[in-house]
Every structure is written in C-alpha cells, then in structure tokens.
Amino acid sequence: MANRKKIIITLDGPASTGKSSIAKRLSNTLGYIHIDSGSMYRAATLFALRLDPERILRPNVFVKYLSEINIDFKKINEEQKIFLNNEDVSHEIRETYVTNEVSNVAKIPELRLLLVNKQKEFGKNKGIIMDGRDIGTIVFPNAECKFFLSAKVEVRAKRRYLEQSKQGINQTYKMVLDNLKMRDKLDTKRVNSPLKKAVDAIEIDVGNMTLDDAYEKLLTYIKNQIV
C-alpha cells in the first residue's frame, strides 16, 4: 500500500472505544504515522500536576508555564514513546492521578491552541492517522477519511477495567466507570472543541465488535479512499 496516495485519517470518540489500539494497527498496515492526541493532553496534565508539590491542579499557574512544555514522539524498539521535555513519560501519563485530572486540563483554551497547532504540524505531509476527541472537527476538518467510534459506557468501562487489571493498576470497575462518565461529560460539554462527531465522519458502534472486526471494518473504508 506504500505507493498509494497519502491521506489524513481521523479517529474520534469517547474513552476506551479502541481508538488507539486500532489506529496503531492501521498505521503499521498503511505505513502511516500514528499520533495519539490524548497522550499529549495527558503529558500536559502531568506537567501541570508536577508544578505543585501536592499535585493539585492550579490552571492559573499552569497557563503561565505553557511555553516550557515540549512534547515529542520517538520510536524505541518499534514502540512509540512520548517524551515530555526529553523525559520518557509513556507509563506515568497512564497513572490514575493523571487520568483523574486530564479532562480538566484539556478544557483550558490556551493549552488546546498550543496542542492543536502542534497536531496540525504533524499532519502537514499527510500519511497520518490521529486519534482523539476533536481531530475530525477542529484539527483536520478537511481530512479525507474520518471515523467516530462509539459504545455504551458500561462496555467501555469493562474493557478498560480488564486492561488495567492486567497491568496491575489497582482500580475497581466502579472507579473506572465513574471516571469514564465524568470524562464523557466534561469532554462533550466543554465550550472549546468538545467531543463531537464531525458531520462527515463514519460512525461505528464497536460495542459488540472485537478489535479485529473493528480494525477490518475501518481498513475496508480506508482502502476505498486511497486507491
């Protein structure tokens, strides 16, 4: 597929619909760059929390330090890692204390402006698949191929709970469910680039699908776009 035309593919939807897993696989198949935009908001959240010794979020203080945030992606042993000011923070950004605050940080307009500009820059040569919340609406409104994944919150919570249990993260199903509900609400209700399906995005309910099925379905649509 390497000789086909390069396009921009966007993959939006609420947490734990399989966006990153599917995007990662598609990027390998297509030879495209994959950017998990949520990891950028997570890295910024880590930065914000580290400004306070007790890890209390202070948005007014945080916005003064935005110019000191430098986020990069690098492939190490075939694995994409995210770096915050040259430090590999790929694991730490998944910690519960970051997950609990990320949607409060992601609604800060000054941060969104900074990260959206960086995301646009990643896409300037096309050949990119980016997943997030506002990628098809705000970051790449002209993308050739847009998807919006959905599933009931209970299904998503169960999947995230299983994933975290395997990783040894000590959270109950109820804690995961409450966090997803809270983030769904904050992400859809915020004024600045809320989580929303782009009018031209293809919506896929992945509630009853395996990851393999969802991947195949998206790949079929994409192949029709890049012939």
Residue nearest to ligand CDP (CB): 38
The residue ranges that bind ligand CDP (CB under 6 A) are: 15-21, 37-39, 41-42, 102-103, 106, 132-135, 159-160, 163, 183, 187, 206, 209-211, 214
Q: For residues 98 and 222, which CB has a smaller minimum distance to ligand CDP in the complex?
A: 98
Query: Do residues 141 and 12 make contact, with C-beta atoms less than 8 angstroms apart?
Result: no
Residue 32 Cβ vs ligand CDP, minimum distance, rounded to whole Å: 16
Phi, then psi, of 126 in degrees rounded to 5: 55, -160
Residue 169 Cβ vs ligand CDP, minimum distance, rounded to whole Å: 12
DSSP, collapsed to helix, strand or coil, labels residue 2 as coil
DSSP, collapsed to helix, strand or coil, labels residue 130 as strand
Q: For residues 20 and 90, which CB has a smaller minimum distance to ligand CDP in the complex?
A: 20
Paired residues of 79 in beta bridges: 76
CA pair distance 94, 3, nearest whole angstrom: 36
Residue 207 Cβ vs ligand CDP, minimum distance, rounded to whole Å: 8
- DSSP assignment of 133-167 equals SSIIIII-TT-SEEEEEE--HHHHHHHHHHHHHHT
CA pair distance 218, 195, nearest whole angstrom: 20
Q: For residues 19 and 222, which CB has a smaller minimum distance to ligand CDP in the complex?
A: 19
CA pair distance 221, 216, nearest whole angstrom: 9
Residue 4 Cβ vs ligand CDP, minimum distance, rounded to whole Å: 25
Q: For residues 27 and 103, which CB has a smaller minimum distance to ligand CDP in the complex?
A: 103
Q: For residues 48 and 102, which CB has a smaller minimum distance to ligand CDP in the complex?
A: 102
Residue 86 Cβ vs ligand CDP, minimum distance, rounded to whole Å: 21
CA pair distance 22, 217, nearest whole angstrom: 10
Q: For residues 26 and 134, which CB has a smaller minimum distance to ligand CDP in the complex?
A: 134
> Is 17 exposed, middle or buried (CB count within 10 Å of its CB: 0-12, 13-18, 19+)?
buried
Residue 137 Cβ vs ligand CDP, minimum distance, rounded to whole Å: 10
